[in-house]
Every structure is written in structure tokens, then in C-alpha cells.
Amino acid sequence: MGRTFLNNEGLRKLVRIREKVLDFFYPKFCLVCDKEGVYLCPECFSKIKTFPAPFCPYCQSRSFDGKVCKNCPPAGEAGRKSIYGFITATSYKEKDVRKLIDTFKYSFIKELANPLAFLIFKFLKENPEIEFFKNPLDFVILPIPLHSRRLRWRGFNQAEEIGKELVPLLKIPMKTNILFRRRYTEPQVELGIKERKENVKEAFKVSSLEKIKNKKIILLDDVATTLSTLEEAAKVLKKSGVKRVWALTVAKG
Ligand SMILES: [Zn+2]
Ligand SMILES: [Zn+2]
């Protein structure tokens, strides 16, 4: 007794009370329709358009299983060899998607990781040819890491938060102690297409790769536009001996 009164159940109760108090003082509103109670209500979630099918990220041709098509990468496009397949659920150009992701990242609403993960889950369920569900334990999710400076600013790594929500849905484990940043890079959104590639060059390093020996990697991020970041991370993993690297994002920029 005495000091151990705060067991797990007690702690969970406290967390629930704290959430109720916060909800009272800071009520949540649906980001799309303003309905009170949640950041994204079920009706608005169901109206968000996901892509009808996966596509090759380089030539946009349809790819029923998400693999990069046989004609890609186009000749001369060096560096586009590391990603085996690319899965993305929706378009960042959709107004509501952009609002969700921007609020998540720039207003620091961590809870939005949940609906964003569900968008991925919805897309995967609608496209059963994608191999993730077949043998989930063949895979491991690696979230794109943030530099410690950016992590301190945001307070969380957005890719990792989405990953935490995806793990129970996909039954695929996630590891955050494999892929690291070697150096600080400027935010990709502020750069042009050519600069982006240069900006992330040699930005990543890997360690403890033996822990995921023989696994297929799923690199996870929130948004991909040119795929430069994902390609750079995939390149490092491939150089270290990983056989197959998938890329997975909520949205395509
Ligand atoms: Zn709503
Ligand atoms: Zn292609």
C-alpha cells in the first residue's frame, strides 16, 4: 500500500479525468464541419476521398499492387532505384486532407494521427492486392525520423505518431531505433524539386540492422511530394543490405 497506490489502473483513471477536464475547457470541434466533440467527425471522415487504386509514383500509371512499374525509373533519373513500391492513401491537394495534416503538424494536434492512420487503413482494405496484409510479420515499419531540433520544436514525430496508430491496425511491428538523421535539413516544403534532392542527400544513417534482418521495410511518412526523402532513406537501407523497401504515406503532395 502507500506508495504504490498509483498502479496502472489508477494512472489510466487520472489520464481520463485529465482528458475530461481538458475537453471541458478546450472543447474539440470537427475541423471540417465544426461539429463539437472530435477533431474529425465520422461523417467528414467517410467523405474524404482516397485514391481509387495505387499508382507508380514516377509515371502515375496504375499499379494494382503498388509496385513501381517496370518502365520506371526513367533512364537517367539516378537515385530512383531504391523504392520497390509506393502506397499513398489520398491527395494532399484535397482541401480537407491538407487541413488535417497541417493542423496535425503545425498546430501540434497529436490526436489527428488517429484519423490519418485510418485513412491509410481504409485505402489498404480497399486494395487487397497490396501485400502488407498477407504476411504482416514479414514487414517492419520504420517512420522517417526527425532531427532532434525539429522534434523539440514539434514535440512529436508525426510519422511515428501515425505509425503508433497503424501498428494495431496492420499487425505490423514498428521500430524507431534503426533509422536516424545524420544532420539537420531544411524543411522540404520550402524548396524546389531539384533542391529537395540535394537537401536530403546523406541525411540518414542506419544502425542495429541485424534486429530487422530479412524483414521487408515499410518507410512511413505523412506526405510525399517528390519522394526525395523516402528515396534517400531507402537508398541507405538498401546499401546496408535490406532487400525490399516500400514507401507508405497518408498523402501525395
Ligand atoms: Zn465533421
Ligand atoms: Zn512508372
Ligand 2: distance of its center to the CA of 170 in Å?
27
- CATH node for 46-252: 3.40.50
Residues in the chain: 253
| CA of 71, nearest ligand number | 2
pLDDT of residue 79: 52
- Asked if pLDDT for residue 127 goes beyond 90, the answer is yes
**Rounded to a whole number, what is the distance in angstroms from the first to the last CA of the chain?**
55
Using alpha carbons, list the distances in angstroms from residue 101 to 40, 112, 221, 251: 12, 8, 11, 9
Ligand 2: distance of its center to the CA of 60 in Å?
6
| CA of 72, nearest ligand number | 2
Mean pLDDT along residues 87-101: 97
Ligand 2: distance of its center to the CA of 63 in Å?
9
- Residues 99 and 55: their CA atoms lie apart, in Å, by 24
- Tell me the backbone φ, ψ of residue 51, rounded to 5 degrees: -65, 145
Ligand 2: distance of its center to the CA of 185 in Å?
28
pLDDT in tens, 5-58: 567 777 778 777 877 777 777 789 999 999 999 999 999 999 999 999 999 988
Sheet holding 85-91, edge to edge: 85-91, 245-252, 216-224, 139-143
- Residues 196 and 19: their CA atoms lie apart, in Å, by 40
| CA of 28, nearest ligand number | 1
Whether the predicted model's global pTM rises above the 0.95 cut: no
Render the burial of 194-222: b for 16+ CB within 10 Å, e for the rest: eebbebbeebbebeeeeebeebbbbbbbb
Ligand 1: distance of its center to the CA of 242 in Å?
42
Mean pLDDT along residues 48-69: 93
Ligand 1: distance of its center to the CA of 18 in Å?
24
pLDDT in tens, 160-181: 999 999 999 999 999 999 999 9
The one-letter code for the residue type at 199 is N
